[in-house]
Amino acid sequence: MIDVDKCRITRYPAAVLGQPAAPVEKIDETIRRLVEKMTDIMIENKGMGLAAPQAGVGLRLFIISMDGSREQVRAYVNPTVTPAGDLEENGEGCLSVPGIYPKIRRYKRATVTATDLDGHEFTEEADGLYARCLQHESDHLDGMTIVNRMGAAAKIANRRQIKKLIDKHEGK
């Protein structure tokens, strides 16, 4: 059972961020309320996307709004993201890993197949920033954060901030 009212932004290294999310069994009022709450969290934190694990819920669901507005939010239930094309390195941030903006290698294009909140399946081709967002949010559903994707040099460069997040999580 999901207590939507208790949903908050989860920060690295919270356990829910490090494990694969479970499929959404059915799209009901609770899932719709969760998407509303996730939208509030994303907008409050000035993000472009948010995965359910980032709201403390281990389900295969994320939202994206390319312009960060409530009007453009789209929900992706049980998505499959297939990257394609060349790799490109670009700076990336994550609401669950604040203060760290490493360069992450991602594919320039991606295809997503997901279900919307009305239960309709859709498929879209994406490139550029949209493709990057899809890959980033999809990582969260597989228990990955940008910390997992960072190279050794980036981990060293950001070690103080990573340690701060770990210490805060451990209550130090």
What are the residue ranges spanned by the domains of the chain?
4-169
Banded model confidence at residue 161, pLDDT cuts 50, 70, 90: very high
Banded model confidence at residue 88, pLDDT cuts 50, 70, 90: very high
CB atoms near residue 103 (< 10 Å): 14
Which residue, 86, 100, 80, is CA-closest to 145? 100
Burial 69-98 (b: 16+ CB within 10 A, else e): eeeebbbbbbbebebeeeeeeeebbbbbbe
13: pLDDT strictly greater than 80: yes
* DSSP line for 71-105: GG-EEEEEEEEEEEEEEEEEE---TTSTT---EEE
Annotated active-site residue 25? The verdict is: no
Which one from 25, 71, 137, 170 is the annotated catalytic residue? Answer: 137
Banded model confidence at residue 133, pLDDT cuts 50, 70, 90: very high
pLDDT at 87: 97
Sequence length of the chain is 172
pTM, entire model: 0.96
pLDDT at 107: 98
HSE of 1 in the Cβ direction (CA atoms, 13 Å)? 2
User: What pLDDT digit, counting tens, does each position of 18-72 carry?
Assistant: 999 999 999 999 999 999 999 999 999 999 999 999 999 999 999 999 999 999 9
CATH of 4-169, one of 3.30.70.100, 3.40.50.720, 3.40.190.10, 3.90.45.10: 3.90.45.10
Percent of the chain scoring above 90 in pLDDT: 98
> What mean pLDDT is predicted for residues 71-75?
98
Distances in Å between the Cα of 95 and the Cα atoms of 50, 116, 117, 136 are 8, 23, 23, 11
User: Coil, strand or helix: which one is 107?
Assistant: strand
> What mean pLDDT is predicted for residues 139-156?
96
1: pLDDT strictly greater than 90: no
